[in-house]
Structure 1
Amino acid sequence: MVENSPYGAAPLRGSPMPYATVNGIRLAYSERGTGLPVVFLHGFPLNREMWTPQRQGLSDRARIVTVDLRGHGESDAPLWQYTMEQFSDDVAGLLDHLGLQSVVLVGLSMGGYIALMFCRRHAHRLKALVLTDTRAQADTEEGRAGRFQMAQTAYRKGPDAVRDIMVPKLLCPRTLQSNPMVVSQVDAMIARMELSGLAGDLMAMASRPDSVPLLPSIRCPTLVMVGEQDQPTPISDARLMSDRIPGARLEIIPDAGHLPNLEQPERFNQALWRFLSSLD
């Protein structure tokens, strides 16, 4: 156990705690390493396994925590409306469970929306923030309509139909053509989604508030990352955030789409570690 750590004590080795009961549900999580705690929030419609390259590549230098958000992976998937406020409070509850007072929060895509809501509700618990392949703007009317249609598709046809829609959006053409292992990993994560989680996510994303006015008030060190070929949240969205958050850095990951941490894990980890190692 790590004693007298400013970030809270790590669990005893050999005594894993894979679940936390938070806000009336069970959240599955994984952690590895000691020191600076870095909490990773996955995107839609994935789970904590998307962060495997980061857990493997950075846990010798930091305490890496990954979580299955409600509705995903091994966490509970209650049938009810989900909100970004609820997701962010789940994350705060997990930090309480782990005894973590201050963390670096890394959010990708939907995880970035949750991280921005965490800034609104729990900013005092942020040591630093990493927003990757996400956007601050709320959905347009067209975007909300698209989420409604995807929910109907999921209801009628199941996760396989969502996978067919999402995989070409999540991965760049090079990955789709030359990295079948990553494609298979993404396929498998989407296949595990339950309908309640899919619908809940889509409602939460469609109803999230505009976070652009929030950006100038973010005071913690911030890194914005984006895949060079990201389609859902392109470089222009990343630049908007990095330009408006005081002192924010921008990292563009070449030869990657919406999931640069899986498509270019070494480049992603190097860029992330440069930022983490610069923190006091």
Structure 2
Amino acid sequence: MDVQPDRFAAAADGARIRYRQEGRGPVVVFTHGLGSHLEAWEQTVATFRDRYTVLTWDVRGFGDSARRADTMAPETWAADLTAVLDEVGADDAVIGGISMGGVVSQRFALDFPERTRALILVSTSSEVNERAAAGWNARADVVERDGLAQALAPTGPALSYGKEYRERHTDEIAEATLLTIERNDAACYAAACRAVSDIDYTADLATITCPTLILQGLEDALTPPGGSVIMSRRIPGSRLAMLENCGHAIPTERPDEFHAEVEAFLADVA
């Protein structure tokens, strides 16, 4: 696909937030996960840009957006997204995200309901239990002490992909893991781990009234299916789609099914 020029929006504190805008039509935002960047959505952008204005962006601390470890928080990330929408002149949008991006999307819908036309939550959760929180904080400790390679190389693939995909795509997974290590700032990565370790939005989900699609891989070891079930029960009228033989990285592991689910949802709400 053609590479679009990078653009930057100015956040409330002056931080530069990188984004790309492609296509025409209703605005749909896709937010990447922890340690990733806007390029992760290239296949999704190519799928939808002929019918929608697709916005992808680098969450603060990642990619080419400002790297300020002391400002990493879901509330800040959600506010940063308003700056991107303001920059492109969008009053509202369909807000989507995977993993940490799903946390950002929930926070955005809670803080800016008037700007949330609909919600797409992929491989994410509204709360982190004590065991998971300990895992996130332990990962942050390893990153701060030993660096990203020590934190990601041993367990990253097992957590991020389902068994079938891991067995068939070992080279691609190794390349993606190396890219994550090379492109990330250790301090920002660790700060993001700590930021997502104590989220608890479950009690507030009933206030989300916009149409919501929830996508979950049944083999997801990073954000297990129970979290999506909780969200689907708390968000009124939400749709839940469970994908068999699929792990955490749904758009990578099952792109055709992912795009079909999103396409059907957008046809109803965008």
Same fold judged by TM-score > 0.5? yes
2:137 counterpart residue number:
148
1:175 counterpart residue number:
165
1:95 counterpart residue number:
85
* Structure 2 CA distance for partners of 1:155 and 1:217, relative to 1, 3 Å: same
SS in 2 for 1:277: helix
1:124 counterpart residue number:
114
Q: Are the aligned partners of 1:47 and 1:189 in contact in 2 as well (CA < 8 Å)?
A: no
2:33 counterpart residue number:
43
* Structure 2 CA distance for partners of 1:140 and 1:131, relative to 1, 3 Å: same
Match of 2:179 among 188, 196, 201: 188
SS in 1 for 2:65: coil
SS in 1 for 2:69: coil
Q: Does 1:274 align with 2:264?
A: yes
Q: Give the letter for the 2:90 counterpart.
A: L
Q: Does 1:21 align with 2:10?
A: yes
1:185, CA displacement in angstroms?
A: 3.0
Q: Which deviates the most, 140-149 or 127-136?
A: 140-149
2:194 counterpart residue number:
203
Q: Are the aligned partners of 2:32 and 2:101 in contact in 1 as well (CA < 8 Å)?
A: yes
1:81, CA displacement in angstroms?
A: 4.2
Aligned positions of 1:225-244 closer than 5 A: 225-244=215-234
Q: Show CA shifts across 1:179-232 (max 9, x none).
A: 246412354134311012112202211233x21111211110100101121112
* Structure 2 CA distance for partners of 1:148 and 1:234, relative to 1, 3 Å: closer
Q: Are the aligned partners of 1:46 and 1:190 in contact in 2 as well (CA < 8 Å)?
A: no
Flag structure 2 segments of 5+ consecutive residues without an equivalent.
none
* Structure 2 CA distance for partners of 1:215 and 1:53, relative to 1, 3 Å: same
RMSD (CA atoms)? 2.0
1:253 counterpart residue number:
243
SS in 1 for 2:241: strand
1:30 counterpart residue number:
20
Q: Does 1:136 align with 2:109?
A: no
Q: Give the letter for the 1:90 counterpart.
A: D
Q: Which deviates the most, 140-149 or 231-240?
A: 140-149
Flag structure 1 segments of 5+ consecutive residues without an equivalent.
1-13
Q: Show CA shifts across 1:150-188 (max 9, x none).
A: 112112222212222322201112111112464123541
1:254, CA displacement in angstroms?
A: 3.0
How does the TM-score come out when normalised to structure 1?
Answer: 0.89
* Structure 2 CA distance for partners of 1:186 and 1:270, relative to 1, 3 Å: farther
Question: How far apart are the structure 2 equivalents of 1:186 and 1:108?
Answer: 17
Q: Which deviates the most, 233-242 or 83-92?
A: 233-242
1:3 counterpart residue number:
none
1:157 counterpart residue number:
146
Q: Give the letter for the 1:28 counterpart.
A: R
Q: Are the aligned partners of 1:30 and 1:65 in contact in 2 as well (CA < 8 Å)?
A: yes
Question: How far apart are the structure 2 equivalents of 1:257 and 1:15?
Answer: 30
Question: How far apart are the structure 2 equivalents of 1:45 and 1:15?
Answer: 22
Q: Are the aligned partners of 1:35 and 1:63 in contact in 2 as well (CA < 8 Å)?
A: yes
Q: Give the letter for the 1:144 counterpart.
A: A
Identity score, percent? 28
Aligned positions of 1:2-81 closer than 5 A: 16-23=5-12, 24-81=14-71
How does the TM-score come out when normalised to structure 2?
Answer: 0.92
* Structure 2 CA distance for partners of 1:58 and 1:182, relative to 1, 3 Å: farther
Q: Are the aligned partners of 1:83 and 1:207 in contact in 2 as well (CA < 8 Å)?
A: no
